Structure 1
Amino acid sequence: MGNIRTSFVKRLAKELIETHKGVFTTDFDQNKKLVMEYSTVSTKHLRNKIAGYVTRLVRLEQTQE
């Protein structure tokens, strides 16, 4: 069974990727810092969920190319 992410996490992650093209990488730790910089997420838990989903989307995008 996989993790189920809320629509808020998915929407914010997709918005961040679209507005900051080429900034996010497949490195989770770097993406955590970038999510803190580019968004106003209030909790560490939510930041990590968004950074994890961003990392997943970037990896999927790279494998499709």
Structure 2
Amino acid sequence: MGKIRINVVKRTARKLLNMYPDLFIRDFEHNKKVVNELIEVRSKKLRNQIAGYITHLKKVEERRQKIELEER
């Protein structure tokens, strides 16, 4: 089964990606630091979940772009 993420994690991650698309990369450690600077998170676990989901979204975005380039 896949990972299940709560709506707060998904909503916050997407919001941060829309507001600051250039700050995030495929590296979890980097994204964790950026999330910590941008928002005040209640716990380390929640911060890590948000950073992890952002990392996942960036990887998916890069794969999608790679496939689009190969199709051309």
Aligned residues: 65
Sequence identity (%)? 45
The unaligned stretches of length 5 or more in structure 2 are 66-72
CA RMSD of aligned residues (A): 0.6
- TM-score normalised over the length of structure 1: 0.96
Superposed CA offset, 1:7-57 (max 9, x none): 110000000000001110000000000000111112000000000000000
List, as ranges, runs of 4+ consecutive aligned residues in structure 1 with deviation greater than 6 Å: none
What are the equivalent positions in structure 2 for 1:43-58 lying under 5 Å apart? 43-58=43-58
SS at structure 1 position matched to 2:5: coil
* Separation of aligned partners in 1, 2:44 and 2:25: 19
- TM-score normalised over the length of structure 2: 0.87
SS at structure 1 position matched to 2:52: helix
Greater C-alpha radius of gyration: 2
